[in-house]
């Protein structure tokens, strides 16, 4: 489906940026990065695993920490549900376990 193409396309894009410069530009600049996930009934359960895989792939390119990249995540359906805020986790491993 469309989500499969998005995961593949985005993964190739990010990999191309890193390999063409030899450096990871996301590690050099602090930023706030919030993932927004659709949790409405139109999303199938197996799509959540694809989204999780996509997020973990993106995390590999981010230097996560209080003074570098801060990561948050929220879900939306009929209401918005914050899962964790920008100040909740200070490492990639913590975010991946969440």
Range 2-97: architecture per CATH:
3-Layer(aba) Sandwich (3.40)
Is residue 83 helix, strand or coil? strand
- What is the rounded average pLDDT of the residues 40-57? 87
Instruction: Bin 13: left if φ > 0, else alpha if -120 < ψ < 50, else beta.
Output: alpha
Distance CA(96)–CA(15), nearest Å, equals 19
pLDDT tier for residue 17 given thresholds of 50, 70 and 90: very low
What pLDDT score was predicted for residue 26? 54
What pLDDT score was predicted for residue 7? 46
Instruction: State the distance between the two ends of the chain, measured CA to CA, in whole angstroms.
Output: 26
Task: Kindly report, residue by residue over 32-48, the tens digit of the pLDDT.
Answer: 999 999 988 888 888 88
What pLDDT score was predicted for residue 44? 84
For the chain, which residues make up each domain, given as ranges?
2-97
Task: Kindly report, residue by residue over 81-92, the tens digit of the pLDDT.
Answer: 999 999 999 999
What pLDDT score was predicted for residue 22? 59
What pLDDT score was predicted for residue 24? 59
Distance CA(11)–CA(37), nearest Å, equals 17
| pTM for the predicted model, two decimal places | 0.68
């Amino acid at each position: 489906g469309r989500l499969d193409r998005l995961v593949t396309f985005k993964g190739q894009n990010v990999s191309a940026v890193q390999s063409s410069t030899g450096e990871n530009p996301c590690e050099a600049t602090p930023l706030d990065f919030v993932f927004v996930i659709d949790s409405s009934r139109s999303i199938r359960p197996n799509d959540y695993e694809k989204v999780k895989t996509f997020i973990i792939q993106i995390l590999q390119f981010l230097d996560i920490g209080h003074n570098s990249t801060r990561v948050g995540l929220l879900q939306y359906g009929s209401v918005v549900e914050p899962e964790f805020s920008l100040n909740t986790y200070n490492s990639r491993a913590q975010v991946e376990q969440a």
